[in-house]
Amino acid sequence: MNKPKILAFAGSHRKESLNKKLAFAAAEMARDAGAEVTFVDLKDYPMPLYDGDYEDENGVPDTTKQLFDLMLAHDGLLIACPEYNSSITPLLKNTIDWLSRLRHDGKPLAAFAGKTAALLSASPGALGGLRGLVHVRSILGNIQVHVIPQQNALGNANDAFADDGSISDTSAKARVESVVTTLVETTKKLNS
């Protein structure tokens, strides 16, 4: 069969974002595990804060449509999201909410329904952003994404990455790899 297609991105687009680094490192692992992977930076898909009046006047932003088309062209999502006040980032929630306004072939939630997803998180602290993933998981599940039960929160992430972008610590790396490999395998099976 064809390679499963994975779209990888982070819920933050700060230049030095630890979660962007993590999504990037995980994307490489997904390639090694046999997937075709596209890494995107949400910086390149700027959208205004969702507002019904804005949508009524201007429609859905072009950046939303571009990301929507990318979502349609992929089978699974690899998302690294920081925890802001114990929950999802406004950036990721805003992106999801805009994407949920578009249909494909008349089908609602076409960007999400039936996709697989794996969740990762990185943070400078010890917990690694674990609590934020609870809300991200719940939101994605409610829009029909098959979020795999495995996830990983990478703590002390300021020191986690080598110069080439890979995860230095062997056991931390293995934990992320295990999540990523499971995503690739699950996506392969569910799309067979």
Q: How far is the CB of 101 from a copy of itself (least distance, A)?
A: 10
Measured over the CA atoms of residue 90, residue 17, residue 27 and residue 185, the dihedral's sign is: negative
Choice between 42 and 166, CB closer to a copy of itself? 42
Choice between 108 and 166, CB closer to a copy of itself? 108
Binding site for a copy of itself (CB under 8 A): 12-15, 17, 49-53, 84-91, 93-94, 96-97, 100, 126-127, 131, 134-135, 137-150, 186, 189-190, 192
Choice between 43 and 173, CB closer to a copy of itself? 43
Q: How far is the CB of 165 from a copy of itself (least distance, A)?
A: 19
Q: How many CB atoms lie within 10 A of CB 79?
A: 25
Choice between 15 and 163, CB closer to a copy of itself? 15
Instruction: Tell me how far apart the alpha carbons of residues 21 and 39 are, in angstroms, rounded to a whole number.
Output: 11
Q: How far is the CB of 71 from a copy of itself (least distance, A)?
A: 14
Q: How many CB atoms lie within 10 A of CB 70?
A: 16
Name which of 68, 76, 79, 75 is nearest 10 in CA terms.
79
Q: Is-contact 66 112, C-beta < 8 A? A: no
Name which of 92, 79, 86 is nearest 120 in CA terms.
79
Q: How far is the CB of 148 from a copy of itself (least distance, A)?
A: 7
